[in-house]
Structure 1
């Protein structure tokens, strides 16, 4: 049996239409009042766990597997242990426990919308307009974060988005597990194990650390294979994000 080009084209169109219908069917188009209330409660619990240094409670708010917290400086923090380490890395967790500061009510209320994964929302958390870019998924244990990405005031002013940071991480290879987690002071970070003896430095970044710069976005990533690291510069072109500069710095001897 011979199939003509016209038949092949018609079959292709049919398959494309069916795929589009399936994608449309997967979109959650309704959220109940109870759903919205539970999602808003999730953010309240998040704040109390973060400022109260409740590491396990914080990690429990993310879907398993796949849920993550993301920011330019923290990376995409997916592992449960890393989520817990991140919470405990704040200076306030090493001081005398203090009351959680009251929530600011001057920000616009979040608009929770249906999304293919379940729901999404942009939650302004700064007077400069910085926000949480959230995606939620409903699990057997209730609503959880599929992702919570942070866009700071300066990143918003530079017109950087969550999608920009996702694309940069993909470009740099950060989604393949090639890079080490980083520990230390804010301006002096490296993987654990580069020096002899115990290393109790606090967690700083999961994989690739990104820093917005006037010329684009700079990246720092330590390789798992040999301890060397990349110092990158990424720029946005009409074709998308590209690596403008990648400098490999060889590892130094362990002291």
Structure 2
């Protein structure tokens, strides 16, 4: 029989986007397992709300992202490999992370390899080197460049995130999919992916963009003013908060 599963990645502390996607996934009764590909926390500030939502679900498998790794390193007294305002941001996230989630996060692996409907599938946040460390970001990946990384592996499908854009490449050997950042967009849309592997081995990929109300989330970032919040609002959300703040200022007069 075939099998269908969902991929979510780069939630980045955005609980409103996550709620919308989880509700959308639950409406599809054919989806069994959900694979969460890391960077659940940081950038957005709703760390504990996001983790509460994720860890309360029974059908989610997790891999660790670079933001989880950096924040955990700070908590555990290890080098975080972040610098400047990013380091200050991670320290703020670490300080506000509920201690109840630390052990659960620390036990998340960096990759999962499993067989689904006869296909060998690799789930990871981003490509890893021989020392199990994340490779530098390739801002312009191609099928051939990805194939160089995985040419000596026997996996049929590689699912990853990290790069905040959608990728869907195929080679003669395998397929590559990044469904895009669930929690970071210049529009009130939350992307995720579904993959259906049919009885005869055919692989069908579908990217969905779920609309949601991001106004309260954006205003909360502006009001909380945590380290790097201005960069976060501009780079990751396209300053969508500006008309919201201006409207509030007019209404308060």
TM, length-normalised to structure 2 = 0.23
TM, length-normalised to structure 1 = 0.23
Which structure is higher in RCO with an 8 Å CA cutoff and minimum separation 6?
2
Whose strand fraction is larger, Structure 1's or Structure 2's?
A: 1
Whose helix fraction is larger, Structure 1's or Structure 2's?
A: 2
